[in-house]
Homo-oligomer: A and B are copies of this chain.
Amino acid sequence: MGHCGWKWGFRGSGSPPRGTLAKLKIRFKETFFPDDPFRQFKGQSLGAKWALAAQYVFPILHWAPKYSLSLFKSDLVAGLTIASLAIPQGISYAKLANLPPIIGLYSSFVPPLVYAVLGSSRDLAVGPVSIASLIMGSMLRQAVYPNNDPYLFLQLAFTSTLFAGLFQASLGILRLGFIIDFLSKATLIGFMAGAAIIVSLQQLKALLGISHFTKQMSLIPVLSSVFHKTDEWSWQTVLMGICFLVFLLLARHISMRNPKLFWISAGAPLTSVIISTALVFAFKAQHHGISVIGELKKGLNRPSWDMLRFDGHYLFVAIKTGLVTGIISLTEGIAVGRTFASLKDYQIDGNKEMMAIGLMNAVGSCTSCYVTTAVNYNAGCKTAMSNVIMALTVMVTLLFLMPLFAYTPNVVLGAIIITAVVGLIDLPAAYLVWKMDKMDFLVCACAFLGVVFISVQDGLAVAVGISIFRVLLQITRPKMEVLGNIPGTDLYRGLHQYQTARRIPGFLILAVEAPINFANTTYLNERISRFIEEENAEAGKQHALRYLILELSAVSAVDTSGITFFTDLKKSMAKRGLEVAFVNPVGEVMEKLQRANEAHGFLGPDSLFLTAGQAVLSLSSLIKEPTPTQV
């Protein structure tokens, strides 16, 4: 009965083994090209291949030929809506990153045009986002204070943007997109909520009209700054802030309740800007304690490649900032893109999308833009044309409407940002995480507390660290289950899980549920020893263990240490008078067991079985003892 696998045509022994190179090739493909992006090219003519390749690189070629008037109508409305959101948000986010407000508008002009040509999502609009802005501002501020040397700060911002773009594009080109998967959902929930609170706290400067605000970001210094400067609070600003904040939150609430009234929340920011600007202008409120944006220079983006700095000390800061903001903005962009693609049932190639976003940021860094990404505003975009409409609207604003912003009060921008980020605090999701998985909640809480009390980047680092440590811990401490027979069947299942499952006397059947490798062989050895001792202590003399059966169905891989573990286990168990049998090793594991067997000859005739049931049946017949009943 042993070696049942062969009877059913196990390929490891019968057919010639595939070569090392062929196997490496397959593994390489499954690792880096799991979505097989070149599948569509197969069996096409050369011309068709070129056309497909062009469409792959420039998705615009895919949708532009089929573009219709009805699509354009939707895109026009969507583009204008997005623009009305993007203009006040762009100004606000640039201020969040300690950059001149105009940079936010520049960043809503060039990148959307690039994305319209290269991007493959139909639902996303491009522009600066709150969290990447916050991180860039706080990381660069560690190297240079924006107030001391604003030009150097701007240079560093563009340089970081370039590195963010290059890094994003190379992740895509090297098919390493899975790196962003290491930001787990739980991490993101905690991180986003923390960041939203930090961003909102920063707005207290504008909302309370404080002019000497702390330069730090975490909760405690900001709050202490707020309450030590009560003499700087301006009641006019506070009043205006509360009114507009209530208005904006109300608009948001209405739109959330009834998605058809989306236009209310979409129009509210621009409405607020217009009304508040008019109020300031009418009452000359800028002379009564209300701070305003001030003069903004008319005109489109100027080239900025001469502002990129690659010298010594600042280079490292720029690279680090680029890496972190690049990853964070990718996470947002790709995650949102994937969600909408799966909702509307089309495919997004994450790696391709990373190249598009990366190239967009690289181009942006040379045209006075800072880091941007793709976000969804629920505005009903149909194609990337909506990005073009938005960009054109921003262009008109840049060319002709800049003087109007001179009287826009900062407090309204603060209210707009708070309204925008409040949605990042997702309490129901956090509660669901708590209900599902306490460890995940711990990760989530660490990210949140780290961001709020230490710093944005440290909170993120801690959360990612814990996530990875947890995965490693799962590997170092693989689960093992003692299996028992479910009466009336020849199934073997976990004793803990199935009440009716019962032990077979003389047998210890263990299911190992992880790849066996260097990180867990020591543990497995010790844990198996303990299982055997506990079993023997319980069973007593007459039913002493005779067989240890390892159910390997769930062992997806072994490495050299794992093979050594198997051979050593055979030997050490033999010393204790136990025989070891293996059940259902999967492909790679089976192959390596066989190769090890060729080298060491450690597998006896009754060492390999296809199911635990067969192993028990076959081995019981060897010992001349009453066999357990089998079906």
Contact = CB atoms under 8 A, between A and B. Distances in A.
A599 B477 contact: no
Interface stretch (A264-272, A377-385, A389-397, A550-558): A550-558
B499 A15 contact: yes
Contacts of A596: 436
Nearest to A569: B342
A538 interface: no
A185 B559 CA distance: 9
Tell me how many chains of this kind the complex includes.
Answer: 2
Interface stretch (A30-38, A74-82, A158-166, A418-426): A30-38
A563 interface: yes
B554 A186 contact: no
Nearest to A348: B526
A520 interface: yes
A31 B477 contact: yes
A468 B472 contact: yes
A514 B8 CA distance: 25
Interface residues of A, number: 97
Contact of A557 (B474, B500, B520, B555): B474
Contact of A342 (B10, B15, B572): B572
Chain B CB within 10 Å — which of A14, A529, A561, A563 has the most? Answer: A561
A584 B521 CA distance: 26
Contacts of A215: none
B436 A560 contact: yes
Given A471-B472, A530-B34, A575-B345, A184 B518 contact: yes
B586 A481 contact: yes
A471 to B, nearest CB: 6
Interface in A88-132: none
Interface in A524-574: 525-527, 529-530, 553-557, 559-561, 563-564, 568, 572
B432 A560 contact: yes
A232 interface: no
Contacts of A468: 472
A149 to B, nearest CB: 30
Nearest to A179: B476
Given A185-B560, A560-B186, A9 B178 contact: no
B184 A559 contact: yes
Contact of A436 (B477, B497, B592): B592
Nearest to A177: B522
Given A10-B498, A471-B517, A479-B557, 18 more contacts: A11-B499, A30-B477, A35-B527, A178-B476, A182-B472, A184-B519, A185-B560, A186-B559, A186-B561, A187-B518, A436-B563, A437-B560, A474-B557, A491-B610, A497-B586, A513-B586, A514-B515, A514-B556
